[in-house]
Amino acid sequence: MNQSPQRTSQPLPRRRLGRTGLDVSILGFGTAPLGDLFALLDDATAIAAAERAFALGVNLLDSSPLYGHGLAEHRSGTALRRVPRDDVVVCTKVGRWMDPFHGRGSGSNFVGGQPHHAVVDYSYDGTMRSVEQSLLRLGLDRIDLLLIHDVDVWTHGADAIEQRFREAMDGAYVALDKLRSERVVKGIGIGVNEAEMCVRFAKAGTFDTMLLAGRYSLLEQPALAEFLPLAQTQGIGVMLGGVFNSGILATGAVAGAKYNYKDAPPDVMQKVAAIERVCRAHHVALSTAALHFALGHPAVASLVLGAQTPQEVERNVAALSAPVPSALWRDLKAERLLDDNAPVPA
Catalytic residues: 62, 67, 93
Rounded Cα–Cα distance for residues 228 and 305 (Å): 20
Backbone CA torsion sign across 119, 258, 223, 343: positive
Give residue 277's identity as a one-letter amino acid code: R
Element (H, E) at 96: strand 96-99
Q: Which residues contact 199 (CB under 8 A, 6 or more apart)?
A: 226, 227, 230
Q: What are phi and psi of 161, to 5 degrees?
A: -65, -35
- Stretch (H or E) spanning 97: strand 96-99
- The Cα–Cα gap between 92 and 61 comes to 8
Closest residue by Cα to residue 313 from 9, 28, 25: 28
End-to-end CA distance of the chain: 45
Spatial separation of the C-alpha atoms in residues 19 and 234, rounded to whole Å: 9
Q: Which residues does 221 contact at the CB level (< 8 Å), separation at least 6?
A: 215, 338, 339, 342
